[in-house]
A and B are shown apart, each in its own frame.
Chain A
Amino acid sequence: MTLEAHVPSGPLAEKWQHYLDKAKLVNPANKRKHEILVVGTGLAGGSAAASLAELGYRVKVFCIQDSPRRAHSIAAQGGINAAKNYPNDGDTVWRLFYDTVKGGDYRAREANVHRLAAISNQIIDQCVAQGVPFAREYGGLLDNRSFGGAQVSRTFYARGQTGQQLLLGAYQALERQVQAGGVEMFPRREMLELVVVDGAARGIVVRNLVTGELERHAGDAVLLCTGGYGNVYFLSTNAKNSNVTAAWRCHRKGAFFANPCYTQIHPTCIPVSGKYQSKLTLMSESLRNDGRVWVPGTAGDARAPGTIPQAERDYYLERRYPGFGNLVPRDVASRAAKVICDDGFGVGATGQAVYLDFADAIGRLGESRVRERYGNLFEMYERITGENPYRAPMRIYPAVHYTMGGLWVDYRLMSSIPGLFVLGEANFSDHGANRLGASALMQGLADGYFIISSTLGDYIASGGGSGEVRASEAAFDEAANAAEDRIRRMLHVDGSKTVTEFHRELGQIMWDYVGMSRNREGLLHAIDAIADLRADYWENVSVPGRKDALNKNLEFAGRVADFLELGELMARDALHREESCGAHFREEYQTPEGEALRRDDAYAYVAAWESTENAAEPVLHKEALSFEAVDLSTRSYK
C-alpha cells in the first residue's frame, strides 16, 4: 500500500481554495440522512461536532468525562496564534506558515501547514463572535503577545486560560446543537473498538463507564478527536484520563500511526517533588516573555538565588541563542535545560531544575503589571510549591506535554481507513517534529470548525459511508467481543501489582530511554524492557472490582495495556530515525556545538507504521516530504 496524501495541485497558497472549489457537496436535505460519530470533545471534537450539526448532519458525540466541557484542551494556558498582523509588526500568512514549518524542523507536510496558517484568522473571528473574552487594549481592540519561535506578536490570549475560554466557546456551540436536536451527547463513554465494514469505518463500540455496558453505534463516518498520548510517560502535563486507547484501537484495526517518537517535552514545568507524584504542571510558555532563565555560574552553588550576583549567573539561553534568547522554541529550551542540569548546574533539592526569574520584569514593569499578565500562573505555582514567585525565582524543569505524532491522515484529515477522520492532537499532521507554542489550539479549531466540514462532505458526496449498516452485523459482534474479552482477561489475572505500578514503571523506561535525548543502545534496551513489562502485566496485574459498574481502575487498566504496546512502537520509531530533528534528539547525530543534526537526504519523510499481529514487526510506510515553497535549512535561533 502506498500512502497517498491527496494534496491538491497548484501553487501552495492556492491549494486549499482549489480543494474547496472542487470538493463535492452534500445537498442540505441529504445531510440529515447521515449520521456522524465524533469521539472526544476537546477543541477539535467539540468544534467539529458543533459545526457539522449546524450544517444539518446528525451527530453523536462521545466523551470519557462527565461533561464535554472537561476535555483537556481546557488546560491550555498561553494562547492561540493567528496571522492577523494587528500589531503591524510585519506578520503574514506566509510568515506564520514558515515559522511553523521551520519550528517543526521541516518534518511536517507543507500544504497542511499553509492551510492552517491561512485559516488561523477565521478562527479568531469565529471565537470573538461567540463571546470568547480575549485580552484587549484600552481602546477596545484585541491584544497580542509573543511566543517562542517567532519574532512577531501574533498570539491571542485570555489571561492564562486561553484554552478554557476557547473550549467553553466550542462547548457552548455544541450544547446549542444538543438543544436544537442536531447532536446527541453521550458522556462517560470510552471508545474501545472501531468497527470496519467493507474496508470503511462504520461504527464504534463504547463502554458506558457508569453501567459497564458495551454499547454499539453505527454511522457513516467516525471522527476521532481524542488528543495525544503523552501519558505513556506516566508523568506528564496531560490530564489523568488522557489516553491513547481509542487511537490505538484504530491503529490495531489498520490505521497507520505516524511519527510516534515525536513527543514534545515542554521546558517550563514545575519540577518533580516526590515519588507519589501523579502528574506534572505546566507553567505557560508565555512566562518566557518576561522571565529570564538562568543557573548559577558555578556547578553546585547552593546559595539562595537572590544572593547570587548577576556576574555569577549563567543566563544560558541568552548566551547560547542571542537572536531569540529566552524565546527559543520548546525543543531547544528543553534540551538546553537538560544539558545544563546533566552538567551539574541544576538547582533545587534534586538538581533537576533551573531558575525562571521575574525580578527584572518586576523592576521594569512593577509588580501589578506582572500580576495582571501572569497572576493566575504565579498563584498556581505558589499553591503547588508553597513558594512565592514574586519574591524568589520559579524553579522549572522540562516535562512531557504534547505529542506531535499520531494517526496518519491525508490532506483531508482521513486516516488510512476510509471514513475514519482524525482531528487535532490525535493526528500527526501539522507540527512536524516540534510544535510551536500557541499552535495546538489553532490546529484543533482549524480542523474542527473549518476543515472537516468540507472534507467530510466531499467524502460523503463521493459515496463514502453509503449503504445502511446495522449495529447487529457481524463486524459489530466481533468488535464488541474483542472489547469484552480484553476486559474479562484484565479482571481475571488477579496478580499482585497495581495498574499504577505498571504505568509508573513504563513511564520511567520511556523517560529514561525515549525521552529528551535518545541513543541506539538505550532504545534497544527500552524495546526489550517494554516487551518484558507487557508480558508481566498480563501475568501479574491486579484489577479489583466489577465490569458492570463504575470502575475507574478497570478503565485505567485498559489504557495502560495499550500504552504498553504504544511505548514499544515509539521506541522502534525513535530507533529507526537515525537523525536528530525537533524534539527527537539522537545523541549519535549532533553538531560539534551539541545542536541537532538533521539528515534530509535520508529522513525527510513521515514514518507511518502499520500494525501486524507481532508487536516486534510493525511495517514501515514512508510518505516522502517534498518542500516546494521553503528551502530546507538548518534551524538556527542564534
Chain B
Amino acid sequence: MAQTMTIHFKIWRQSGPDAKGKLVDYTLDNLNEDMSFLEALDVLNEALIHKGEEDPVEFDNDCREGICGSCGLVVGGIAHGPMKATAVCQLHMRHYKDGDTIVVEPFRAEAFPIIKDLVVDRSAFDRIIAAGGYVSVDTGGAPDANSLPVPKNDVDEAFDFATCIGCGACVASCPNASASLFTGAKIAHLAHLPQGQAERKQRVVRMVDQMQAEGFGDCSNHGECEAVCPKQISIAAIAKMRREYLRAVFG
C-alpha cells in the first residue's frame, strides 16, 4: 500500500478577472505517492465542498494524459512543476516528500488574463493559429497521399514541432511572456513539409504579427520555454521562425 503523505499547499485564489487574488494555505494529510498532482487537488476540492466554507479551487484540466494541453499550473515556481517533459496532469506525488510545501499559481501573462483562481484565458493562441497556422486546402480533391514522397528525416523533424499541445507553459515561464516557442513550433512544422511551401512567406508574417498584436513579449533567448515544454519542443523553432520571417520580408 502506498505511503500516506501530508502536503502543505499555498494556492492562488482569485474570485474573478478583476478581483484581487492571494495565496491561501491548505494542508492535506491523506495523500499518497501514487496519486497524480491533479488528483491531490481533487482531494482538496472534495474536502472544501464537505467543509462548505469556501468554493472549490478552479483549474482547467481534461485528458489527464498530457496531450490535450488544458492543464497548466505553475507548481513550485515552475510551469507544469519540477518534472522534465511532463505536463502537470502527469506529475505524480511520488516526486514529493511527506511534509513538503507546494506553491500553486496560474500561468501568468498579460495575454493570458485570469478568469478565476488558476484558470486563464489562452484564446490568443487560437487567434495566432487562425492568422495562418494551416495549409489552405479545402476538403476533397487532394491528390493520392503517396503521390508526394517526403523524406523521412523531414517528416520526423516536422513532427517534433507538431507535437505542441498549446498549453502555454512557454509563455508562463518566459520573463518576457513571449509566445515565440508556440508560434515558432507551428511555423517550423509546416515549413519542413512540402505541403507548407505555398503559403510559407505569408504564414510567418501573419502569425508573428498576430503574436505581437496579442500582447506577448519578444524573445530574448532565455530558453526557459524549452526547459518547461512538456513536449520538449526545441528552441530551434524560434530560430527557424526568425529565419523564415527574414526570408519572407527581405528574401
- Report which A residues bind B (CB closer than 8 A): 47, 50-51, 54, 65-72, 74-75, 84, 86, 122, 124-131, 133-142, 158-159, 161, 164-165, 168, 171-173, 175-176, 178-179, 185, 187, 210, 239-241, 273-274, 276-279, 281-282, 379-380, 383-384, 386, 449-450, 453, 496, 498, 500-501, 542, 544-545, 549-553
Contacts and interface: CB of A to CB of B under 8 A. Distances in A.
Contacts of B116: 549-550
A221 B140 CA distance: 23
Contacts of A380: 65-66, 90
A405 to B, nearest CB: 22
Nearest to A496: B50
A98 to B, nearest CB: 23
Given A161-B67, A240-B64, A176 B130 contact: yes
Interface of B: 2, 15-16, 32, 34-36, 38-39, 42-43, 45-46, 48-50, 52, 55-56, 58, 60-70, 83, 85-86, 90, 92, 94, 115-116, 119, 121-123, 125-126, 129-140, 142-146, 148-152, 155, 158-159, 162-163, 165-166, 189-190, 193, 195-196
Given A175-B126, A278-B36, A449 B139 contact: yes
Contacts of A139: 149
A172 B146 contact: no
Nearest to B87: A383
Q: Across chains A and B, which 9 residue pairs bring their CB atoms closest together, nearest first?
A: A140-B149, A172-B134, A129-B142, A175-B130, A51-B139, A125-B142, A128-B145, A131-B195, A239-B62
A554 to B, nearest CB: 10
A69 B167 CA distance: 11
A553 B65 CA distance: 21
Given A70-B69, A449-B139, A450-B140, A136 B155 contact: yes
A286 B165 CA distance: 22
B90 A383 contact: yes
Contacts of B144: 125
Q: Is the interface of B mostly helix, strand, loop or mixed?
A: loop
A130 B34 contact: no
Given A140-B149, A178-B126, 18 more contacts: A54-B138, A66-B60, A68-B126, A122-B142, A126-B139, A129-B142, A131-B134, A159-B159, A164-B67, A168-B162, A173-B134, A175-B129, A278-B36, A278-B39, A278-B64, A500-B46, A550-B119, A551-B58
Given A122-B140, A175-B129, A552 B134 contact: no
A74 B63 contact: yes
Contacts of B42: 276, 278, 500
B114 to A, nearest CB: 11
B234 to A, nearest CB: 16
A131 B115 contact: no
Nearest to B116: A550
A239 B46 CA distance: 19
A274 B130 contact: no
A363 to B, nearest CB: 25
Nearest to A282: B65
B129 A545 contact: no
Given A138-B152, A158-B159, A72 B68 contact: yes
Contact of B139 (A75, A281, A453, A501): A453
Contact of A544 (B49, B142, B143): B49
Contacts of A84: 145-146
B195 A239 contact: no
Q: Which of A75, A136, A549 has the most CB of B within 10 A?
A: A136
Nearest to A138: B152
A141 B146 contact: yes
Given A128-B195, A544-B55, A210 B62 contact: no
Contacts of B15: 549
B193 A131 contact: yes
A550 B66 contact: no
A175 B134 contact: yes
B93 to A, nearest CB: 10
A129 B163 contact: no
A74 B67 contact: yes
Given A187-B123, A210-B115, A544-B52, A129 B166 contact: no
A241 B68 CA distance: 12
A75 B46 contact: no
Contacts of A282: 65
A237 to B, nearest CB: 8
B62 A240 contact: yes
Contact of B136 (A70, A140, A141, A176): A176
A140 B193 CA distance: 12
Nearest to A277: B39
B122 A66 contact: yes
Nearest to B54: A544
A551 B59 CA distance: 10
Contacts of B126: 67-69, 175, 178, 185, 187
Contacts of A54: 138-139
B63 A274 contact: no
A130 B68 contact: no
Nearest to B149: A140
A384 B92 contact: yes
Contacts of A126: 137, 139-140, 142
A67 B120 CA distance: 12
A258 B139 CA distance: 30
Contact of A179 (B36, B45, B55, B131): B131
Contacts of B62: 65, 70, 72, 239-241
B150 A72 contact: no
Contacts of B142: 122, 125-126, 128-129
B41 to A, nearest CB: 10
A65 B70 contact: yes
B202 to A, nearest CB: 12
A176 B206 CA distance: 12
Given A130-B134, A175-B129, A141 B149 contact: yes
Contacts of A551: 55, 58
Nearest to B53: A544
Contacts of A51: 138-139
A141 B155 CA distance: 11
B193 A133 contact: yes
Nearest to B57: A552
Given A68-B126, A159-B159, A553-B49, A131 B152 contact: no
A134 B150 CA distance: 10
Contacts of A131: 134-135, 158, 189-190, 193, 195-196
Q: Which of B2, B139, B149, B159 has the most CB of A within 10 A?
A: B139
A92 to B, nearest CB: 16
B70 A66 contact: yes
A179 B131 CA distance: 7
Contacts of A241: 62
B244 to A, nearest CB: 15
A66 B145 contact: no
A75 B68 contact: yes
12 contacts: A86-B146, A126-B139, A134-B145, A136-B155, A164-B67, A172-B129, A172-B133, A274-B32, A276-B32, A278-B38, A384-B36, A550-B119
Nearest to B15: A549
Contact of A140 (B34, B150, B158): B150
Nearest to A84: B145
A379 B163 CA distance: 15
B55 A545 contact: yes
